[in-house]
Amino acid sequence: MTLTEKADKIRLILSTAYPDVKTQLDFKTPFQLLVATILSAQCTDKQVNRVTPALFLQLSSPQDFVEADIETIEKLIRPTGFYHNKARNIRLCSEMLVNRFHGKVPDTIEELIQLAGVGRKTANVVLGAAFGKPGIVVDTHVARISRRLGLTRNQDPEKIETDLMALIPKKSWNAFCLRLIYFGREICKARNPGCPSCPLLLLCPFAAKSSGN
């Protein structure tokens, strides 16, 4: 079996296990998703979703964030952790949106990654969920599971992204990564993965190695 054939089987199994997938971050606009994704760094989506309603009620546009005191932003986002850095990045990001993009979130990865606090992972989340454009989101789940399944040997997220782009059809990029995230939260956890109940057990070299087979 080639690696592409293996990836196809993995996609089929995951699509059966998780037929309907979407980002777990709540948002109404591309800007809200951008801010929420920045806040989600080292924070759960559930916790971000607890914070953003009050945040967006008070500050709803890039211009609002530009005009707000940094202390106000910090207070509103404090429960997401690392709030000093996140507040600075979101405010600077908002300034760049106002000054370079007329207050609109751009819809290309080349432009998105120019924004403060926005790497390829965040950019791909926004592209996929807000604009419906294909992107490979390499978060901790996607990186861990891709290595365990033997779809990549790389540690660097950008190299993992490139490896997955070569194996997964472009139209399936968004859904595949979301399914890996669902799968990582439910079964293939960082600690104590549920290998015995895993639908990908027979395709997984990590499970075989762990069981001594």
Given the residues 121, 133, 170, 189, the one annotated as active site: 121
Q: Which of 200, 19, 33, 26 is nearest to 115 (CA)?
A: 33
Given the residues 75, 104, 139, 171, the one annotated as active site: 139
Rounded distance between C-alpha atoms, residue 50 and residue 1, angstroms: 45
Helices (H) and strands (E) in the chain, counts: 12, 0
Catalytic-residue membership of 75: no
Rounded distance between C-alpha atoms, residue 2 and residue 8, angstroms: 10
Rounded distance between C-alpha atoms, residue 53 and residue 17, angstroms: 31
Count the alpha carbons within 13 Å of 200 in the hemisphere toward its beta carbon.
31
Catalytic-residue membership of 139: yes
CB contact at 8 A, 125 and 168: no
Give the list of residues 6+ apart from residue 180 with CB closer than 8 angstroms, or none: 14, 141, 142, 145, 146
Lookup: tokens for 117:
């606090």
Opening angle at CA 62, ends 57 and 63, nearest 5: 95
- Positions marked active-site: 121, 139
